[in-house]
Chains A and B, each alone.
Chain A
Amino acid sequence: MQMVPFSLQNSRGEDIAFPGRRPSLVCFVKEDCPTCREVMPVLAAAYTASAEALDLYVVGQTQAGNRILEEEFQPPFDILDDSTLKVSFATDIDTVPTLFLTDAQGETRQNLVGFVKEEWRTLLDEQVPNTLDIDWEQLPDWRPGCGSLSVDPTLAARLQAEAENSPLRARRIEIGSADDEVEFMFDQGFSDGLPLVPPTPERVLRMLGGTQRDPQEVLAVMPPNMGEVTVEKVAINAVMAGCKPEYMPVINTVVQAICTNEYNVHGVMATTMGASPVIVVNGPIREQIGLNMKLGALGQGNRANATIGRAVRLLIRNIGGARPGGTERSTLGNPMKFTMCFAEWEERSPWPPLHVERGFAKEDSVVTVFTMTGGPSLIVDQESRTAAQLAGTMGLCLESAFNPKAHFSTDCLLVVVPEHVDTLVSDGYTKADLRRRIQEVTARPVKDLVGNEISGAGLSPRLAAKMSAEELEKPLPKFKREDDIHIVVAGAEAGKFSGAFHGWATGEIGSISVSRKIDEL
């Protein structure tokens, strides 16, 4: 703790500046603190005996309290008004009374926290030139003091936000008292179409408390505007989305994942197809922040799922600058553009979870971003009793991605529900078996994938005409690689309804799923 220079007003409205020209005693007090009341007569005696060898500043923390102290104790000194608490905060005290001894330049030489009689007596005897009119015997040996108002949890975030060394650097926007702040944010185009929580400095500071990163660290440069995504900007958008501070590490990591060349968030946003990120979370953080992976995992009603995805989308809009009608050109749009984030129910799965398959340790917390254009479309199969039958149904359903004749075009994220897991496991199916079966049942001779009178979609008849009979008979599965079938487990215990997200253009020309460890945990 170090005293800082200040100028505060006394009860007559006069400005009193510290440091003055002499060594000083500065004591912070508040009226409702019993220890502060105990020391008021001591301070009065010190003031009287100091004979202008010392300046005494008594700083009170509320205007009403200062008035009461002045009326009750009639001190010979003025009590200075620090009801904004800026001096208390800047000095970093956490207890009242706190007594500082400074030199003539205002440098702190000593400080005493609370009231320890021997400490106060020694300090005052050494510094005050005349005898103190104090009956030390009547005073208690020790009193702990009370919490300074500047560390009150309801005020501390505001004070930190207003302080000169505030970690906040974002532009401040004043909203007039006649304006509705929610309407204002709609007008400015900050919103995804739903109301936002106003990102006040206090809320943003609390949000930053959820991450160990420096608020000004640039996590990524986000297209299309190539805006710098600082941790502070993440926190602002997370507040607007309704997040809790503990979600910050997830959002930070998702930002880094989508702003990679592989993921290509620029293309994902710009495509007329209507693509959007799906965020899958694995590892211990799922439980720590309350992500839903069970009943309704892909639906509404869970704060972490809903707001993490929304925060990412707001960042893409506000920092990346991808807005519908601007560089976001989706023909139909899709509701996943509001939010889509869920966790894998690893404990309900007999298989290695997604992040382990992708090279991480089981105890790592990892986000995986996948680009969807369709789904979750249901795979309804209540009849199959063998793994091969059920996996066959899954393959037939997945064949509809883009259109049934679009083979080798996209990837998918298959969300297998517990009842379907049980059927697959009863026949010893691994994830590899499931992938193999999907490829097997979707394999069609190339000739069946040519555009025809039923559907013009598919391989161009002109190209097909140049192919040999052998080439036309060659079976082609739905997916170019088995690895294009991403598999996770989630959902309620009851119900034979798995789901599938259909991908976008995959590979170098489109978007490749990216997994990234949450490394700030």
Chain B
Amino acid sequence: MTTILDPTDERVPVERQISPRPGVISGAVALLDISKPRGNVLIDRLEELLSERLPEVTFNRYAKPTFTKPAPEPLRRQIQNENNFVIEALAD
């Protein structure tokens, strides 16, 4: 961690902004398995429960090639293009 001092007049926040939260889940939700052992079990169960509660919503499954590295750019782009939300699951 490096700390630097703000060189500006500090009228704009420098923190990274989180995406707006819409309040209602609709459209498509990505379920991303990061490929840690048994992550798929967690996501299977999650998909089951969410599908019951949100019958109008489509759930799409994705998996990272390996949990040790960031998702490849094409996969990130695909998830972004095909979904409105993403749930990333870590299980150990």
Contacts and interface: CB of A to CB of B under 8 A. Distances in A.
Interface of A: 168, 170-177, 181, 185, 188, 190, 198-201, 204, 225, 227-228, 232-233, 236-237, 240, 314, 318-319, 321
Given A171-B14, A173-B14, A188-B14, A227 B5 contact: no
A175 B3 CA distance: 6
Nearest to B9: A227
Interface of B: 1-11, 14
A236 B6 contact: yes
B6 A198 contact: no
Contacts, number: 68
Contacts of A188: 14
Contacts of B8: 190, 227, 318-319
Given A174-B2, A199-B7, 16 more contacts: A170-B7, A172-B3, A175-B1, A175-B2, A181-B2, A188-B14, A198-B4, A199-B5, A200-B2, A200-B3, A201-B5, A225-B11, A227-B8, A233-B7, A318-B7, A321-B9
B9 A173 contact: no
Contacts of B14: 171, 173, 188
Contacts of B11: 225, 227
Nearest to A176: B1
7 contacts: A171-B5, A172-B3, A172-B4, A172-B5, A181-B4, A200-B4, A236-B6
A168 B5 CA distance: 9
B9 A236 contact: no
Given A171-B14, A173-B14, A188-B14, A318 B5 contact: no
B7 A314 contact: yes
Contacts of A204: 5
A236 B2 contact: no
A173 B4 contact: yes
A236 B7 contact: yes
B9 to A, nearest CB: 3
